[in-house]
Every structure is written in structure tokens, then in C-alpha cells.
């Protein structure tokens, strides 16, 4: 699904805690798309010679098309919170307060529940939108969870439900989402094709495993595909 | 050069602002362990731009008063347990950053200017947590154009690890040149190294780009395997199993103390003066 969302990209950067987005990018490459994928935490042959500073300089100039961000909380105005929620401390904002302004951003969080998708975040690590006088080239494009895909409507500053992943239902998505959204046209998310699954297992998995060893073990050692 | 990691951290005063690299960028675990053994107190850690195991160990061992960082996490091994608990209980002060703001603040110091502008960030709650950031009008624009000004940060000390030091006192960090920015900005930089190379690496055209000049280096000490259980490119990899084991043990105070006894004190506790 992610691979389909970012299919028009030329340069995508993928962060440390993003094995599934990294997998999507490698899938695009395996499908022969001429994209550059910069994996920030590539352990050997890292793309940078000035560390993460170089990533932010690249993004600041507009040399990166897409980035992925998650959140302990995400609200209906696409604000994200990576700092604290319900008394719990999370790692922190990382580069979000900058990358969200500079890149088209796919919000990605597997957990789709009212505690994650909240009416209002407790702490704004990075805002979903900015007033017109604030320089901002990037921002949310879509929100993808383990249950559904939402598109971001920039004019209305609201999410619109695009599709629901089987076996989940529209009612389930509504019950699990703590914020208001538009849901007029939602369909069923198309399943990955047999070709995509084969590529994931045979070509993509070996490219992902060195940098995300736990993830690769969890997903591919059990002999199940991912989408 | 007979200095040890212990000798280097003896020069890090309690309460110092200590700049540390992330787990993936040559952390000196040898000096982190030595700081714990020397019972350092009140340290203010600066994550450049994020922190992991090194910070979690120092926090759990009671060495830390403040954490200034864009994040503290163990990566795939999950949340940093000692950091999370200390932040939730309020036993440490946490000043939240976003990564490029840390780099920018150090680059300002590197250039000897009082602040530097940074795009983005406006509208984030991070801004309210910083007396050292200001939102100002872009002085070169006639249109309304607010931009963030980030004050320079001068770390008292930078601590990191490197592949080599040479006889001239230079150190080689290879592609990890963000460490040069930390060294340029800090008042003192202490570096543990895998080994000593003869001669002067700045005389070698192929090695020179990965070198930090001795101008910026206060002290070096050999600590073979000094980044372990984290890695040094081409020498040894991050020990993921060790990190997972740490993450599990550090969930409880007892488990954390056992970890310290086994991997940091290693039986040396009794031989040190109180």
C-alpha cells in the first residue's frame, strides 16, 4: 500500500524506526522504479558523510520528496505527538518538527485505536498545517494504519477515509478512530498481488534484513507476507 | 600514550554539559562506563541529535540531572527504560529538541556566531520549551516571514569513540564527520580509539577527509572495543542481542543494577575508593 502511495517519488528518505516504509521503498526499486532511497540508518555503506545533519540539509533544500512519520498520538488536524501521552514518556520528536515542513509526508502507524488517533494531541511535536505566512513546502499526504488509509484534505484540514483493509470493516474503523473524518467514498483496500508478495519475499527481504534484523526475523522467518 | 578512559573522564566535572553522539555514530561506551564508575553526578547530556544506550545507562546510574535531546530510544530494542522512568517521575529535567535544531546550534558555535536561523518548527510545542529559541521576522524579506532563531550551544565536553588516533593527536572518524561539528563546538573533546597509527594522518590524502585535527582534541586513550556493544564500521557490528537483553533487564531497577554489576563494574566496585 505504501509503495502505491509514493509511486511518483524520485527521492525518498526513510528513518530509523521505519522497517515497513523501508520495505515499501525497496519494493518499488525491485519493481524497477528509478527512485533513490536514502535509508538514514543503513549500518554499512551509510548514504551520508556528515551524519543526520546532511539529511536535514537535503530536506531543507527540497531534495527529498517523501518522508514517513509516526506518532504516539495523531489527531484529526494531522498534528503528531512523539513526546508524551497519558503520563507516559516517549522517545521524543526526532526530526519531525523539520521534516514535516520540508517533505510530503506519509503518516504511518500500525496501531489504529482511540488512544493513538485522538481528537487533540497532548503535545504538538510537529503541526499538521501552518498559517499562510509560515514557509512550508511539505506536510501530510496520507495517514496509513493497520486498519485503513486516510487521505489528507489540505483545504478542509481534515482526513478523508479512502479505504479499509480486509478483514476490518468501516464500523470498526469508525469505532477505533478518536477524531472526526469524512468517509463518503471509502472502498476496500486492494490486497497485494502475488507478484508483489513474491518480490517482497525473494528480493526485498534480503535487502531489509541487515538494517532491521528484528523486523525481518519477525515477518519473514515465520513464512508470512506483508503488504 | 598510556592514558585510559578513566583518565579522560576524570577531567569531566560534575554538572558539565556533555555532548554525546547517537548509538549509531561512534559512542564511547568505554567512557560512559568510566563515568559511571567514577560516580559522576549532575551531568547535563546533549544528544547530537539523539541518544540511546549511553544516556540510558548514565541516567539509570544516577549520573544525570538534565537531558537535552531530540529523542532517547534503543532503536529496534524499543524505549529506553531508565530514561522513560526518570522522565515520567520527574527525577531528571528533559529539554526536548528536534534534530536539526541541535545541529544548527552547534554549527553556530562552530562559526562563532550567537545564533543561526532554521526553517520549520514553528507551531510545534517544542518552541515554548526553549528560552534559547526565538521566532523573528526574516530581516531580508519585505513580506511577513517568521523564522526560528536558535541560540548557539557550547558543550563543556564532547565524548566519542574513533577508529584511530595518530602520533600527532589527530583522530579518524571516517564518514562520521558530524562528530567534527561536535568537536569544533565543544570546549574539550575526549576521544577513545581502537588503536594508534604511527605518523600524522593529515599527511595522508586518503585518510585526511575523515580526520578531526588535534586542534580540537583534548585527550585520547586506547580502548579496544570501546564502542561495544555498539559498533564501529568494518570492525564490529552493533550487538542487537545485547541491546535486547539490556532493554529487558533495565525495565526494573534490580535488573538494571545487575546489568551494571556485570557489564560496567565487572567486579571493580570494591577496589575503588568510596
Q: Does B240 touch chain A (CB under 8 A)?
A: yes
Residue A220: its pLDDT value, please?
Answer: 76
Write down the mean pLDDT value for chain B.
95
pLDDT of B99 higher than 90: yes
Contact A11, A115 (CB under 8 A): no
CATH architecture group of domain B14-97+154-160+177-185+234-269 = 3-Layer(aba) Sandwich (3.40)
Q: In terms of Cα–Cα distance, which of B48, B56, B44 is closest to B22? A: B48
Tell me if A83 and B96 make a contact (CB, 8 A cut-off).
yes
Which ipTM value was assigned to this complex?
0.93
Using an 8 Å CB-CB cutoff, list chain A residues near B50. Answer: 91-92, 94
d(C-alpha B47, C-alpha B160), whole Å:
12
Q: Identify all chain B residues contacting A122, using CB atoms and an 8 Å cutoff.
A: none
Which residues from chain B sit within 8 angstroms of residue A130, using beta carbons?
A: 122-123
CA distance to partner chain A, nearest, from residue B119 (Å): 7
Residue with cell 543494577: B257
- Identify the band that residue A226 occupies on the pLDDT scale cut at 50, 70 and 90: very low
> How far off is chain B from A171, nearest CA to CA, in Å?
32
Does the beta-carbon distance from A125 to B125 stay under 8 Å? yes
pLDDT at A45 over 60: yes
Chain A residues in contact with B72 by the CB 8 A cut-off are 91-92
Contacts of B147 in chain A (CB under 8 A): 135
Nearest CA-CA distance, residue A45 and chain B, Å: 9
Q: How far apart are CA A23 and CA A121, in angstroms?
A: 28
**Taking residues A94-111, what's their average pLDDT?**
95
Minimum Cα–Cα distance from B79: chain A residue: A91
- The closest CB to that of A51, out of B77, B84, B178, belongs to B178
Q: Which residues pair with B165 in a beta bridge?
A: B171, B196
Query: What is the H or E stretch that residue A196 is in?
Result: helix A194-199
Residue ranges of the domains in chain A? 2-220
What digits encode the pLDDT tens for the residues B9-54? 999 999 999 999 999 999 999 999 999 999 999 999 999 999 999 9
- Tell me how far apart the alpha carbons of residues B31 and A52 are, in angstroms, rounded to a whole number: 23
Q: Tell me, yes or no, if B68 comes closer than 8 A to chain A by beta carbon.
A: no
**Rounded alpha-carbon distances, angstroms, from residue B113 to A85, A192, B121, B134, B149:** 37, 53, 21, 15, 12
Q: Does B125 contact A124 at a Cβ distance shorter than 8 Å?
A: yes
For an interface test with A, give the residue of B45, B124, B242 to mutate (most A CBs within 10 A). Answer: B124
Residues 6+ apart with CB under 8 A from A221: none
Identify the pLDDT of residue A163.
93
- B238 interfaces chain A, CB cutoff of 8 Å: yes
Q: Is the pLDDT score of B274 beyond 60? A: no
Over the stretch A176-205, which tens digit does the pLDDT of each residue have? Answer: 999 999 987 788 988 888 888 888 888 888
Residue in A with minimal Cα distance to B103: A53
Nearest residue, CB atoms, B76 vs list A124, A126, A212: A212
* Confidence bin at A212 (pLDDT 50/70/90): confident
Would you tell me which residues 155-194 of chain B have a C-beta closer than 8 angstroms to some C-beta of chain A? 175-179, 181
User: Can you say how many angstroms the Cα of residue A42 is from the centroid of all Cα atoms in its chain?
Assistant: 18
Residues of B in contact with A94 (CB under 8 A): 50, 70-71, 98-99
Q: Find the length of chain A.
A: 227
Residue A43 to residue B238, Cβ atoms within 8 A: yes
pTM for the predicted model, two decimal places: 0.92
What is the tens place of the pLDDT at every residue in A133-143? 999 999 999 99
Contact A102, B119 (CB under 8 A): yes
Which is more confidently placed, A19 or B254? B254
Burial (0-12, 13-18, 19+ Cβ within 10 Å), B239: middle
Among B71, B83, B234, B245, the strongest candidate for a mutation testing the A interface, having the largest count of A CBs within 10 A, is B71
Task: Please answer whether residues A91 and A53 qualify as being in contact, where contact means their C-beta atoms are separated by less than 8 angstroms.
Answer: no
The domain segmentation of chain B, as residue ranges, is 14-97+154-160+177-185+234-269, 115-151
Q: Is some CB atom of chain A closer than 8 A to the CB atom of B136?
A: no
How many interchain CB pairs under 8 A, A with B?
146
Q: For residue range B229-256, what is the model confidence (pLDDT) as tens digits?
A: 999 998 999 999 999 999 999 999 999 9
What pLDDT does residue A17 have? 62
Determine the Cα–Cα distance for residues A95 and B80; give it in Å rounded to an integer: 18
- What is residue A29's predicted lDDT score, i.e. its pLDDT? 85
Q: For B64-94, how does the pLDDT look when each residue is reduced to its tens digit (9 = 90+)?
A: 999 999 999 998 899 999 999 999 999 999 9
**For residue A71, is pLDDT > 50?**
yes
CA distance linking residue B53 with residue B245, whole number of Å: 12
Interface contact flag, A213 B122, Cβ < 8 Å: no
Query: Cβ contacts (< 8 Å) between B22 and chain A: which residues?
Result: 52
Give the lowest-confidence range in A117-131, A133-147, B15-29, B255-269: B255-269
Give residue B2's pLDDT band: very low, low, confident or very high (50, 70, 90): low
Per CATH, the number for A2-220 is 3.40.1080.10
Closest CA of chain B from A119, distance in Å? 17
Residue A225: per-residue pLDDT: 44
Alpha helix segments (H runs only) across chain B: 5-9, 29-37, 53-60, 81-89, 99-111, 178-185, 240-249, 253-259
Contact residues, chain B, for A124 at CB < 8 Å? 123-125
Question: Please, what is the end-to-end C-alpha distance for chain A in angstroms?
Answer: 6
Are A116 and A104 in contact, with CB atoms under 8 Å apart? no
Say if the Cβ atoms of A101 and B120 lie within 8 Å: yes
Amino acid at each position: 500500500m505504501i509503495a502505491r502511495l509514493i509511486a511518483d517519488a524520485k527521492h525518498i528518505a526513510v528513518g530509523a524506526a521505519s522497517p515497513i516504509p523501508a520495505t515499501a521503498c525497496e519494493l518499488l526499486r525491485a519493481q524497477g522504479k528509478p527512485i533513490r532511497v536514502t535509508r538514514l540508518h543503513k549500518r554499512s555503506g551509510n548514504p551520508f558523510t556528515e551524519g543526520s545533519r546532511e539529511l536535514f540539509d537535503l530536506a531543507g533544500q527540497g531534495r527529498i520528496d517523501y518522508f514517513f512519520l509516526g506518532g504516539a498520538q495523531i489527531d484529526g488536524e494531522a498534528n503528531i505527538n512523539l513526546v508524551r501521552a497519558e503520563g507516559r514518556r516517549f522517545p521524543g520528536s526526532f526530526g519531525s518538527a523539520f521534516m514535516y515542513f520540508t517533505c510530503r509526508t506519509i503518516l504511518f502507524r500500525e496501531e489504529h485505536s482511540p488512544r493513538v488517533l485522538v481528537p487533540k494531541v497532548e503535545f504538538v511535536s510537529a503541526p499538521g498545517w501552518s498559517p499562510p505566512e509560515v514557509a512550508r513546502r511539505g506536510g501530510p499526504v496520507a495517514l496509513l494504519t493497520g486498519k485503513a488509509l486516510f487521505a489528507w484534505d489540505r483545504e478542509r484540514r481534515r482526513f478523508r477515509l479512502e479505504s479499509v483493509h480486509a478483514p476490518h470493516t468501516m464500523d470498526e474503523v469508525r469505532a477505533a478512530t478518536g477524531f472526526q473524518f469524512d468517509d463518503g467514498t471509502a472502498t476496500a483496500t486492494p490486497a497485494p498481488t502475488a507478484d508483489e508478495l513474491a518480490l517482497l519475499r525473494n528480493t526485498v527481504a534480503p535487502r531489509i534484513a541487515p538494517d532491521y534484523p528484528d523486523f525481518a526475523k519477525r515477518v519473514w522467518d515465520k513464512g508470512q507476507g506483508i503488504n | 600514550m598510556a592514558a585510559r578512559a578513566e583518565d579522560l573522564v576524570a577531567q569531566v566535572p560534575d554538572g558539565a554539559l556533555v555532548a554525546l553522539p547517537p548509538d549509531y555514530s561512534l559512542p564511547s561506551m568505554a567512557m560512559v562506563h568510566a563515568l559511571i564508575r567514577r560516580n559522576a553526578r549532575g551531568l547535563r547530556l546533549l544528544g547530537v541529535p539523539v541518544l540511546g544506550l549511553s544516556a540510558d545507562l548514565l541516567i539509570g546510574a544516577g549520573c544525570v540531572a538534565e537531558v537535552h535531546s531530540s529523542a532517547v530510544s534503543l532503536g529496534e530494542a524499543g524505549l529506553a527504560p531508565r530514561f522513560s522512568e526518570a522522565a515520567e517521575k520527574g527525577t531528571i529535567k528533559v529539554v526536548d529538541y528536534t534534530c536539526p535544531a541541535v545541529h544548527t546550534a552547534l554549527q553556530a558555535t562552530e562559526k562563532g556566531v550567537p545564533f543561526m536561523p532554521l526553517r520549520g518548527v514553528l507551531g510545534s510545542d517544542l518552541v515554548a520549551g526553549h528560552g534559547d529559541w526565538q521566532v523573528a521576522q526574516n530581516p531580508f524579506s519585505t513580506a511577513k516571514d517568521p523564522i526560528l532563531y536558535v541560540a548557539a550551544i557550547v558543550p563543556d565536553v564532547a565524548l566519542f569513540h574513533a577508529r584511530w588516533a595518530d602520533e600527532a593527536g589527530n583522530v579518524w572518524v571516517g564518514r562520521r564527520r558530524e562528530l567534527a561539528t561536535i568537536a569544533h563546538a565543544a570546549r574539550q573533546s575526549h576521544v577513545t580509539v581502537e588503536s594508534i597509527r604511527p605518523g600524522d594522518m593529515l599527511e595522508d590524502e586518503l585518510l585526511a577527509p575523515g580526520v578531526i585535527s588535534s586542534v580540537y582534541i583534548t585527550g585520547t586513550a586506547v580502548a579496544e572495543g570501546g564502542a561495544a556493544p555498539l559498533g564501529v564500521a568494518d570492525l564490529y557490528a552493533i550487538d542487537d542481542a545485547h541491546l535486547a537483553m539490556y532493554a529487558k533487564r533495565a525495565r526494573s531497577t534490580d535488573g538494571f543494577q545487575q546489568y551494571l554489576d556485570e557489564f560496567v563494574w565487572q567486579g571493580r566496585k570494591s577496589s575503588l575508593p568510596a
